[in-house]
């Protein structure tokens, strides 16, 4: 069971990173579809570039074992934002893609959720330390 969990963990990290890295080309080259998406949500061009940079950071963090939990957290936040935009402003299918980008966002979210679950002890420890540091009087 532990070996299966480790294999799934590694696969989730790589899949999430590869999907986010693959979409960077379209964001950074201002492809028609990316410009349309970010114009529709009122974030063109700054949002397209910022999201691209954040996805690059999340991908690198996911591929480094010690920081994978942080990449999973950032990746999940970004994808939940993308899913929210699809659900409210864009629709599931964008420019006739049949929901492909929406599906990719769901896949990355699931992968990042698995990474966070696998690192739950580390995540709880970081959150506990953060909470303690915020409670200390200055």
Q: What is the pLDDT of residue 14?
A: 98
Give residue 87's pLDDT.
96
pLDDT for the residue 49: 97
Residue 4: what pLDDT?
87
Per-residue pLDDT of the chain (138 residues; tens, 9 = 90+): 788 888 999 999 999 999 999 999 999 999 999 999 999 999 999 999 999 999 999 999 999 999 999 999 999 999 999 999 999 999 999 999 999 999 999 999 999 999 999 999 999 999 999 999 888 776
Q: What is the pLDDT of residue 60?
A: 98
pLDDT at residue 138 in the model: 60
Q: SS3 sequence, the chain?
A: CHHHHHHHHHHHHHHHHHHHHHHHHHHHCCCHHHHHHHHHCCCCCHHHHHHHHHHHHHHHHHHCHHHHHHHHHHHHHHHHHHHHHHHHHHCCCCCCCCCHHHHHHHHHHHHHHHHHHHCHHHHHHHHHHHHHHHHCCC
Quick one: pLDDT at residue 136?
Answer: 74
Give me the pLDDT at residue 135, please: 87
What's the predicted TM-score (pTM) here?
0.91
């Amino acid at each position: 069971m532990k070996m299966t969990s480790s294999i799934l963990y590694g696969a989730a990290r790589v899949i999430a990173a590869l999907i986010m890295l693959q979409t960077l080309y379209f964001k950074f080259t201002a492809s028609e579809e990316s410009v349309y998406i970010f114009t529709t949500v009122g974030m063109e061009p700054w949002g397209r570039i910022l999201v691209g940079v954040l996805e690059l950071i999340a991908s690198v963090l996911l591929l480094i074992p010690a920081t994978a939990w942080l990449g999973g957290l950032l990746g999940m936040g970004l994808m939940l934002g993308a899913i929210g935009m699809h659900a409210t402003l864009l629709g599931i299918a964008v420019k006739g893609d049949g929901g492909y980008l929406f599906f990719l966002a769901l896949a990355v979210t699931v992968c990042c959720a698995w990474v966070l679950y696998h690192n739950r002890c580390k995540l709880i420890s970081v959150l506990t330390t953060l909470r303690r540091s915020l409670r200390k009087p200055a």
